[in-house]
Amino acid sequence: MAQNDTPDILYTIVDEAPELASASLLPIIRSFAAAAGVSVGTRDISLAGRILATFPEALTEDQRQSDDLAALGELVKTPEANVIKLPNISASVPQLVAAVKELQSKGYALPDYPETPATDEEKAVRARYDGIKGSAVNPVLREGNSDRRAAGAVKTYAQNNPHRMGDWSADSKTRVAAMDGGDFFSNELSATLPKAATAKIVLETASGETVLKDGVSYPEGTVVDATFMSVAKLSSFLDAEIARTKEEGTLFSLHMKATMMKVSDPIIFGHAVKAWLKPVFEKFGDRMAALGVNPNSGMGDLLARVKDDAEIMSAISEVTAARPPMYMVDSDKGITNLHVPSDVIIDASMPALIRNGGKGWGPDGAESDTACVIPDNSYAPVYDATIEFFKANGKLNPATAGTVQNIGLMAQKAEEYGSHPTTFELHEAGTVKMILDDGTVLHSHDVQAGDIWRSASARKAPIEDWVSLAIDRQKATGYRAIFWLDADRAHDAQLIAYVKPILEARGVADKFEIMAPREATVASLETITKGENTIAITGNVLRDYLTDLFPILELATSAKMLSIVKLMQGGGLFETGAGGSAPKHVQQLVEENHLRWDSLGEFCALGESFKFLADAKDNAKARVIGDAVEVATQNVLEFNRSPGRKVGQPDNRHSHYWFARYWAEALAAQGDDAEIAGHFAPIAKALAEGEAAILTELSAGAGTPADLGGYFRTDPAKTAAVMRPSATLNAIIG
């Protein structure tokens, strides 16, 4: 499609529950948008779609799919971009393998994912698949920095209808454990480049030099970091924490992000699996390797591979009995914290545990205090400070709590989330060096075999844009504003050298504070406990973590956050919230035909997208449509039309009916555009008069299994039948 044929708004095709919800909501959006002359198109960034786009030569002509992610990546660099982005799978290896197998079963002749590539061909296939897994989407689309906050209507509703919070006690044994040396935090080096440069990364060993990466280009002013994690110290740390947890009588849990940090964190996760089953690996390591065991894939995959070896299974049972009880993902099904690397994602798992009074679920199905193991100490202090704050002060009161907004540095693959191409598991001891094209050794580390080395960077233009965005938000709100930067951390010190002069030049230095993450956490919790508000101005990973932590405490969920990416070239990217619990939602829909996914994040993003379009294209009708979205969203909240969790309660489809009805009623009642009012008056009337029939039709299949024709790539006709079961509603909407 040519640039000038691009729809006014692009809505992303994604995965799991958000994509199922789209089957119901998107027809409504398109129908209403058409009244303002606004076209709404789609682009496929789903895991299945990305796999198919990566291997066109393996597919028939009819099966081939355009590379929509690459096309969107170009669009977001233009002023015309207006993209509503739903949460997509940041695939772990088990998810990627499962998706490939499903597509193969549907007749797509894709190559298998080579878990242990031997030939050059297998290595090439593996490299292409590895480009899909983990955070493949967000760094491409996020050509701007992040402005995340609770929409006013959402925050007001949360205060008027406070969610349940678990009680904290001062003697809670729940704690955070992190390494005190040898981790990424303690080994970090950082420098700001005075001029544009190209670097190579080499490993110098006793046997010679290996080039790990060549031709890494950086513009002038880029902050370039390098660091590594010692696996010897990691292993000692994990052994000690397993033993300490056993002594304390709490649950053992590991909290990481093996999806977004797709190279380093699965390796660390694998070391935790090996530490947990250390005696088994010591005795049966070779036999397990012959069975294809890769601890990085988790306990679930390991158990599936050794299940027929009675001796290994007996040894696993013996070791497990001697270990502390483990934090469970699903105690009814025996799915542990170490089962699948993508099952426990720190930015969702830690806030949920904190909201629950520090309690996690054990293998016996009971709640218990928990040892929260976060190996790297870069951001662990945030969770440690939060837990200690609630131990001392008791739980947060959502009815009176203020809010924490966030301005996040993330444009152009900033910081750790851009480190994937420059992260290496080292197979030989030596010295890793970053060498610039003029011969300067920028960074150097002495490493041992197995250590995990990585480099990340943040460019000058995104950093300056991030500071400007923070200045604008503070001016708009007057809130307390804190840069979460640690002067004693190498990378943060370089950022501070950017931040302070900009604040001073703009005459606003007195409006901002700079604090290390631990101190900033306490200050922010103190602020919102008093009912006041603050802005957290953070780097990329903290942006991710905090925009789950505080919304889950304030609102019970992060899916209801307003997430605006102000693209640096003038376009807009509107994100719709988190998808961490989406797999459980799909499971419930398949088993009970009940989808509890809440589309409130989509509603919030939709209103912002229409208003952005109104300004960008001078479309007054689009503003009328966008303003009415806000009215409809507020009514969905005020009249309690959000989905319930249990079958028999209203679900996602019911909430879409009410959203459409309130939207139509708001448009019919507004006085800014008579033509739009006239268009929507009969629609609003029909939706109201059809209420009984529509709700009955939407509930008809509740409690019975639903057939979607797939998981990673559902059948469109079957999905539409499940998600649009009301003939009455469909006839009104079209």
Q: What is the pLDDT of residue 415?
A: 92
Q: Return d(Cα 479, Cα 511) in angstroms, integer.
A: 9
* pLDDT greater than 60 at residue 103: yes
Q: Return d(Cα 325, Cα 197) in angstroms, integer.
A: 51
454 belongs to a structural domain: no
Q: What is the pLDDT of residue 579?
A: 56
Which residue is associated with the tokens 């690397």?
341
* DSSP annotation of 138: H
- Split at pLDDT 50, 70, 90, the class of 133 is confident
* pLDDT greater than 70 at residue 425: yes
359 belongs to a structural domain: no
Q: What is the mean pLDDT of residues 93-103?
A: 93
Judging by beta carbons within 10 Å of its beta carbon (0-12, 13-18, 19+), is residue 613 exposed, middle or buried? Answer: buried
The C-alpha torsion from 121 through 123 and 124 to 129, rounded to 10°, is: 130
For the packed helices 652-669 and 16-34, what is the interaxial angle rounded to 10 degrees? 20
Q: What is the mean pLDDT of residues 668-679?
A: 97
SS3 string, 216-275, reads EEECCCCEEEEEEECHHHHHHHHHHHHHHHHHHCCEEEECECCCCCCCHHHHHHHHHHHH
SS3 string, 289-355, reads HHCCCCHHHCHHHHHHHHCCCHHHHHHHHHHHHHCCCECEEEHHHCEECCCCCCCCEHHHHHHHHHH
What's the token pair of residue 333?
Answer: 């099904």
Tell me the H-state helices in 151-194: 152-160
Q: What is the pLDDT of residue 167?
A: 96
For residue 678, what are the CA distances in angstroms to 37, 657, 672?
15, 20, 12
Question: Taking Cα atoms as reference points, which of 144, 375, 140, 167 lies closest to residue 271?
Answer: 375
- Split at pLDDT 50, 70, 90, the class of 22 is very high
CA dihedral over 25, 30, 36, 40, signed as positive or negative: positive
Q: What is the pLDDT of residue 138?
A: 81
Q: What is the pLDDT of residue 154?
A: 86
H/E element, 140: helix 138-141
Percent of the chain at pLDDT > 70 equals 99
* pLDDT greater than 70 at residue 123: yes
Amino acid at 148: R
Give yes or no for a contact between 389 and 356, defined as CB atoms under 8 angstroms apart.
no
Q: What is the pLDDT of residue 1?
A: 34
Q: Return d(Cα 675, Cα 668) in angstroms, integer.
A: 9
Q: What is the pLDDT of residue 152?
A: 83
For residue 669, give its domain range. Answer: 3-132+151-163+556-733
Lowest mean per-residue pLDDT among 130-134, 148-152, 231-235: 130-134
Q: What is the pLDDT of residues 513-541, one digit of tens each?
A: 999 999 999 999 999 999 999 999 999 99
Question: Taking Cα atoms as reference points, which of 613, 571, 601 lies closest to residue 411?
Answer: 571
φ, ψ dihedrals at 223, nearest 5°? -85, 120
Instruction: Give the three-state DSSP class for 608.
Output: helix
How would you classify residue 92: left for phi > 0, otherwise alpha for psi between -120 and 50, otherwise beta?
Answer: beta
Give yes or no for a contact between 142 and 565, defined as CB atoms under 8 angstroms apart.
yes
Q: What is the pLDDT of residue 557?
A: 82
Q: What is the pLDDT of residue 2?
A: 34
Give yes or no for a contact between 111 and 125, defined as CB atoms under 8 angstroms apart.
yes
Q: What is the pLDDT of residues 368-379, one digit of tens each?
A: 999 999 999 999
Q: Which residues of 373-388 are buried (b: 16+ CB within 10 A; e: fewer)?
A: bbbbbbbbbbbbbbbb
* Strand order from edge to edge, sheet including 441-447: 208-218, 197-205, 430-436, 441-447
- Split at pLDDT 50, 70, 90, the class of 3 is very low
Q: What is the pLDDT of residues 180-239, one digit of tens each?
A: 999 999 999 999 999 999 999 999 999 999 999 999 999 999 999 999 999 999 999 999
Q: What does pLDDT average to over the chain?
A: 94
Q: What is the pLDDT of residue 537?
A: 98
Question: Taking Cα atoms as reference points, which of 709, 664, 654, 713 lies closest to residue 684?
Answer: 664
576 belongs to a structural domain: yes
471 belongs to a structural domain: no
Give yes or no for a contact between 510 and 385, defined as CB atoms under 8 angstroms apart.
no
pTM as predicted: 0.84
Cβ neighbours of residue 366 closer than 8 Å, sequence gap 6 or more: none
Give yes or no for a contact between 452 and 231, defined as CB atoms under 8 angstroms apart.
yes
Amino acid at 78: T
Amino acid at 108: Y
Q: Quote the number of domains for the chain.
A: 1
What's the token pair of residue 243?
Answer: 């033993």
Q: Return d(Cα 276, Cα 325) in angstroms, integer.
A: 11
Cα R_g (the chain), whole angstroms: 26
Q: Return the half-sphere exposure (C-beta side, CA atoms, 13 A cut-off) of residue 111.
A: 18
Question: Taking Cα atoms as reference points, which of 23, 22, 109 lies closest to residue 64?
Answer: 109
Instruction: Give the three-state DSSP class for 682.
Output: helix
* Strand order from edge to edge, sheet including 534-538: 40-44, 9-13, 82-85, 572-575, 561-567, 144-150, 404-408, 534-538, 480-484, 512-515
Q: Which residues of 542-571 are buried (b: 16+ CB within 10 A; e: fewer)?
A: bbbbbbbbbbbbbbbbbbbbbbbbbbbeeb
Q: What is the pLDDT of residues 258-295, one digit of tens each?
A: 888 888 999 999 999 999 999 999 999 999 999 999 99
729 belongs to a structural domain: yes
Distance from chain centroid for Cα 36: 33
- Split at pLDDT 50, 70, 90, the class of 406 is very high
Q: What is the pLDDT of residue 41?
A: 97
Q: What is the pLDDT of residues 153-167, one digit of tens each?
A: 889 889 999 999 999
* pLDDT greater than 90 at residue 581: no
Q: What is the mean pLDDT of residues 577-604?
A: 86
Q: What is the pLDDT of residue 428?
A: 95
What's the token pair of residue 423?
Answer: 């992260």
328 belongs to a structural domain: no
Percent of the chain at pLDDT > 90 equals 86
Instruction: Give the three-state DSSP class for 131.
Output: coil
Q: What is the pLDDT of residue 343?
A: 80
92 belongs to a structural domain: yes
What's the token pair of residue 12?
Answer: 């992303």
54 belongs to a structural domain: yes
Q: What is the mean pLDDT of residues 444-468?
A: 97
* Strand order from edge to edge, sheet including 423-425: 189-192, 223-229, 452-458, 423-425
What's the token pair of residue 161?
Answer: 């209808």
Amino acid at 224: V
- Split at pLDDT 50, 70, 90, the class of 60 is very high
Tell me the H-state helices in 533-651: 540-555, 582-592, 600-617, 620-638
